[in-house]
Amino acid sequence: VLSNLSQHYPNTEQPALDRLNLDIESGQLNALLGPSGCGKTTAMKMIAGILMPTGGDILFDGDSVLSTPAERRGAVMVFQNYLLFPYMSVGDNVGFGLKMARVDKSTIKKKVLEMLELVQLPGVEDRKPSQLSGGQQQRIALARALIVEPKILLLDEPLSNLDAHLRDEMRELIRGIQRKMGITTVFVTHDQEEAVMLADKIAL
C-alpha cells in the first residue's frame, strides 16, 4: 500500500510525486500508466528502497518498510536499460544476487540454469551480455531479478526498448512467468495498450 506518498526534489518547484495513494494487489500484475515525467519511476524507486520519500508511507502486508533497507525489503527493480554487468558472464550476472547472499556455488549454478530455462534462454550462461540482443539482455535482467525470489517485482518500462515483434514475445513471457510464480508485480508504462494487455489492475 502506498499512502500519501510524496517526493519533492531539492531546488524544484513542482513535486515529482504528490500524495499518491495506491493499493497494490498481492499476487497480481499491476500497471502504473501515465506520461513521461509524472512520477511513475520515482514511485517504483521508493517502493524498492532506492529513494526515500519526503512524505507518506509504504506498507508491505500492513507494516511500514520506510526504515527497512533496500536489500531487506524483498522488492527488486528491473531498470529500463537493464544494467547488466558487461565484464561478467551471463551466468554470473544472473547469479549475482545469490552470490551477494553467500549462497553456495553449486546451488547458484543450479538456480542460474533454472532461471535461464524460465526466460527461455538455455545455454547462454557463458556468453557476455554484449553477445546478446536487446531482447535477450532484457530476459537476463529479468532472470537476475527473479533468482532471489523477491516478494515484489518492479519493472520500469520493460518493453520500451524493443521492436514490435519482441514486445509481443516479452509481454507473453512476463505474463506467463508472473502467473506461474504468483509474484506481485508492478510495471510502469506510458503505453495504454500495453497496460491493458498485461495488467490485472491499472493505476493512472
Residues 30 and 119 in one domain: no
> For the segment 164-195, what is each residue's pLDDT rounded down to a tens digit?
788 888 888 999 999 999 999 999 888 888 88
Q: Tally the domains of the chain.
A: 2
Residues 120 and 159 in one domain: no
> For the segment 54-106, what is each residue's pLDDT rounded down to a tens digit?
999 999 988 899 999 998 889 999 988 888 999 999 999 999 999 999 999 99
Residues 129 and 43 in one domain: no
Which CATH number characterizes residue 45's domain? 3.40.50.300
By residue range, what is the domain housing residue 183?
Answer: 1-74+150-204
How many Cα atoms are found within 13 Å in the side-chain-facing hemisphere of 103?
17
Q: At 35, give phi and psi (nearest 5°).
A: -70, 165
Residues 7 and 68 in one domain: yes
Q: Which residues pair with 2 in a beta bridge?
A: 22, 58
Torsion on CA atoms 106, 108, 109, 110, rounded to nearest 10: 90
Residues 93 and 143 in one domain: yes
Residues 161 and 69 in one domain: yes
pLDDT, average across residues 114-129: 94
- Strand 152-156, strand 201-203: pairing: unpaired
Residue at a domain's end among 149, 165, 189? 149
Dist CA 121 CA 115 (whole Å): 9
How many Cα atoms are found within 13 Å in the side-chain-facing hemisphere of 150?
26
In a domain, residue 81? The reply is no
Q: Which three cell numbers stand for residue 24?
A: 497494490
Residues 65 and 2 in one domain: yes
% of the chain residues with pLDDT over 70: 100
How many Cα atoms are found within 13 Å in the side-chain-facing hemisphere of 27?
2
Residue at a domain's end among 133, 149, 165? 149
> For the segment 148-168, what is each residue's pLDDT rounded down to a tens digit?
999 999 999 877 777 878 888
In a domain, residue 83? The reply is no
Residues 160 and 201 in one domain: yes
Question: Picking from 17-26, 63-72, 110-119, which range would have the lowest pLDDT averaged per residue?
Answer: 17-26
Residues 102 and 125 in one domain: yes
Residues 67 and 2 in one domain: yes
Residues 157 and 69 in one domain: yes
Residues 7 and 103 in one domain: no
